[in-house]
Amino acid sequence: MVTGDGSYIKKINRSLILQTIIGHGIISRADLSKVVGLNKATISVQVSDLLDEELIIETQQEHSGVGRKPIMLSLNRDCGYALGIDLDYKHITFTLSDLLGHPVLAETLPLTTSDYDTIVSLLTDRIKKYEQKCSDSRYGMIGVVIGIHGTVGKDEKVYFVPQHQWRDKDLKADLAKEIEASIHIENNANLSAFAEKVFNYHDSDNLLCVTMYSGMGLGIIMNGDLLKGYDGFAGEMGHMVIFPHGKPCPCGNRGCWELYASESKLLAQLAELKNKPDITYKDVRNWIADEDPAVCGHLDQFFEYLAIGLNNIINLYNPESLILNSDILKMQPNAIDKIRGHLHSKMSHYRELSISVLGKDACVMGACAMALKNFLEVPELRLELPSQQLPLTVSNGSGTTAAL
């Protein structure tokens, strides 16, 4: 039996009230009382506190009926901002969002080095600039969450990043020496899965998200919570061996799944095939549209290798929703049908197989959402997808971020 004093109960009620306001977007006190199941007096006290803190605002709803216009409550989305960062192999993406997870600034910086100290310095400089941009709001920058393409422990230390060859780095502590805002470090696939849950699959409590860009990762949500494993390393399915004695992997094994089914490896194969080192997604799209036989042959093999890993994942976790985050899959007509064509096992059970609409924004969107959840202290966060994603400002690292 869970027990607690008055302040503890008040905190729980506050969380539920705030969560309900966010989930509904706009709601009256009377409806809030009905949904949460608290009496009007309790609602009134809590709402008064939230108004004083400027976390919520009041507006009058337009209506054509007789009588007073109802006073509606909604989140004060501009009273603070969250910074999400996707620290990938060849670039770093920054997205600053309001308290509803809608991006207000976005920027990507190319990375030409794997030197840890250089990247820490770059991150520190950029985060400070974003802090300054948020300084006029009531709460300023409410938190920073950084997505890492590697193993991140429950202690938020970075234990291994294969593509940068980083080992045992305490990025959070190193940044905290210069940054005042709250900082959290998380695996990028976990953040992508969290974004899918928060923005798209609100009612799916058993969700898997496979990220397929520079490598392959698996974000796992089971019973509504991120599944991280004993140390926090669960989900490194890109390093699941599908070919014994196969290609050597930077992780130390051979025949890892991401060597055969990640976008980066497919693009490298196509670049070699076409003798075109600067291959782009537009090139791939055109080759698919032209039904280039050599490219289609590589893609058929890509789908087969992808399905091998997915079959293993499905048998391990029996997911409700299995989401594949890949730009190349979006280009391929009937991609889902092609994948299903390789899933023959009668043991495999899942409810839904789909391609993510979030794309490469998933990690930073999940990072922003996690910072918001931590700041608002709500048990569950349900946000609406932004009606329009911001185009990224591509910078060489010497300029400043412009409002978009």
* pLDDT score recorded for residue 393: 52
Give 123-176 as a 3 state SS string: HHHHHHHHHHHCCCCCCCEEEEEEEECCEECCCCCEEEECCCCEEEECHHHHHH
Query: Rounded mean pLDDT of the chain?
Result: 91
The β-bridge partners of 369 are none
CA dihedral 112, 115, 116, 118 (to 10 degrees): -70
Domains in the chain (CATH in brackets) are: 6-75 (1.10.10.10), 81-193+361-394 (3.30.420.40), 202-356 (3.30.420.40)
- Taking 50 as the pLDDT cut, the residues of the chain under it are 1, 396, 398-404
The letter for the amino acid at 220 is I
**113 contacts 122 by C-beta, under 8 angstroms:** no
Cβ neighbours for 53, distance < 8 A, ≥ 6 positions apart = none
The letter for the amino acid at 27 is I
The β-bridge partners of 131 are none
* pLDDT score recorded for residue 402: 40
Nearest to 238 by CA among 365, 151, 329: 151
- CA of residue 339 relative to chain centroid, distance: 24
In angstroms, rounded to a whole number, what is the distance separating the alpha carbons of residues 217 and 144? 22
Give SS3 for 298. Answer: helix
Residue 363: exposure state from Cβ atoms within 10 A (0-12, 13-18, ≥19): buried
Fill in the DSSP letter of residue 352. Answer: E
